[in-house]
């Protein structure tokens, strides 16, 4: 059989401008342009403006002037800011550990076959679907000093004799918002990890079972390492979101009592918008950047290492 050459792509008459797109360099530029413009307009420009703001003495109704790193010096000496840094790390660390552990546990349970599997999986997502502000209001009512349904239940069960002031005590307030964040975040972990679990061939578990691995060993030697890339991505997402969390704390405690539950975002908001110190607020927002940057870079490097394994 003779191999007939494919009919040479007839060079249709393209306008000279379109012809340029046949060159990959121009094509790449044309395809990248929309994204670059959007990112520049809505991310890079505000970020740059934020940096400039943090280096000024602007207040509400007062453009201010360039003052260098003065605002950063100021927040460095601010004890509330230091509490905020500690709070943010504690809040992010504790919630991430619990969300991962509970999410993984839930994912493994959901990965089995049982009746009504699809419905349960859909229900699990509810906390994630409800707008955070709404669900947080519901929680606020549950933790309310006077009407707390949790207190009522504990009281009826005879476990407590006096009211617990959930949101009035600094430590309890922090614990409360951590609980709500975990409640809200577990579904995302569970569903994503479940998707990851489903990509692991059941044959591998069977092979491991025949190889003599007990259930716990099968999890540790087969499931966990194969799930690692997905786990890392989910953790990365969650850390970024939790670190910059605002709504939950704002609705629940507003950063109180006595600034005990402020996170970067809420403190920046309170200082910048609440009291009108725009420049200082911007400085606090920006202070989040180096921490997040380091966390993200470390995790991305780790993800790359795991994926090329």
Binding residues for another protein (CB under 8 A): 201, 203-204, 206-214, 217, 221-222, 225-226, 309
**Nearest CB to another protein, comparing residues 82 and 214:** 214
Q: How far is the CB of 199 from another protein (least distance, A)?
A: 11
Give the shortest CB-231-to-another protein separation in angstroms. Answer: 13
Nearer to another protein, 15 or 308 (CB): 308
- The DSSP code for 112 is S
Q: Which is nearer to another protein, 40 or 215 (CB)?
A: 215
Nearer residue to another protein within complex by CB, 217 or 275 = 217
Residue 119 Cα distances to 110, 126, 232, angstroms: 11, 11, 27
Left (φ > 0), alpha (ψ -120 to 50) or beta: where does 212 sit?
Answer: left
Q: Which two tokens stand for residue 143?
A: 């933790």
- Give the phi and the psi of residue 162 in degrees, each rounded to 5: -120, 160
Cβ contacts of 261 within 8 Å, gap of 6 or more? 87, 170, 173, 174, 177, 249, 252, 253, 255
Q: Residue 90 and residue 243: Cα distance in Å, rounded?
A: 10
Q: Which parts of 92-220 are beta strand (E)?
A: none
Measured between its terminal Cα atoms, the distance across the chain in Å is: 46
Shortest distance (Å) from residue 201 CB to another protein:
7
Q: Give me the least distance between CB of 221 and another protein, in Å please.
A: 7
* Minimum distance from residue 85 beta carbon to another protein (Å): 37
C-alpha span between 249 and 184 (Å, rounded): 13
CB of 96 to another protein, least distance (A): 24
CA dist 190 and 204 (Å) reads 22
Angle at 189 between CA 184 and CA 193, to 5 degrees: 160
- Cis omega before residue 257 (within 30°)? yes
Residue 228 or 296 having the CB closest to another protein:
228
Q: Which is nearer to another protein, 61 or 212 (by Cβ)?
A: 212
Q: Of the two residues 208 and 277, which places its CB atom closer to another protein in the complex? A: 208
* Minimum CB–partner distance for residue 185 and another protein (Å): 27
Residue 59, beta-bridge partner list: 62
Least distance to another protein, CB of residue 60, Å = 56
CA nearest to 282, candidates 42, 45, 59: 59
User: Within its chain, how far is the Cα of 252 from the centroid?
Assistant: 18
Nearer to another protein, 68 or 212 (CB): 212
């Amino acid at each position: 059989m003779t191999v007939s050459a494919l009919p040479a792509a007839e060079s249709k008459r393209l306008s000279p401008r379109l012809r340029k797109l046949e060159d990959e360099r121009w094509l790449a530029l044309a395809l990248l342009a929309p994204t670059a413009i959007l990112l520049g307009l809505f991310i890079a420009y505000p970020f740059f403006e934020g940096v400039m703001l943090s280096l000024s003495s602007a207040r509400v109704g007062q453009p201010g002037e360039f003052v260098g790193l003065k605002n950063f010096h100021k927040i460095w000496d601010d004890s509330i800011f230091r509490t905020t840094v500690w709070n943010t790390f504690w809040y992010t660390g504790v919630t991430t550990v619990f969300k991962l552990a509970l999410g993984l546990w839930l994912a493994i349970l959901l990965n089995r076959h049982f009746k009504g599997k699809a419905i349960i999986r859909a229900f699990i997502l509810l906390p994630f679907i409800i707008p955070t502000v709404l669900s947080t209001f519901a929680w606020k009512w549950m933790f309310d000093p006077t009407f707390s349904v949790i207190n009522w239940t504990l009281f009826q069960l005879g476990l407590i004799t006096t009211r617990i002031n959930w949101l009035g005590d600094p430590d309890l307030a922090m614990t409360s918002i951590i609980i709500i964040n975990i409640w809200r975040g577990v579904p995302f972990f569970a569903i994503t990890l479940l998707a990851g679990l489903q990509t692991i061939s059941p044959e591998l578990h069977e092979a491991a079972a025949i190889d003599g691995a007990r259930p716990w060993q099968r999890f540790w030697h087969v499931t966990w390492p194969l799930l690692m890339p997905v786990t890392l991505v989910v953790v990365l997402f969650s850390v970024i979101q939790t670190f910059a969390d605002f709504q939950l704390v704002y609705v629940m405690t507003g950063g109180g009592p006595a600034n005990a539950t402020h996170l970067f975002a809420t403190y920046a908001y309170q200082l910048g918008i609440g009291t009108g110190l725009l420049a200082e607020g911007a400085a606090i927002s920006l202070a989040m950047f180096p921490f997040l940057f380091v966390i993200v870079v470390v995790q991305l490097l780790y993800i790359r290492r795991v994926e090329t394994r």
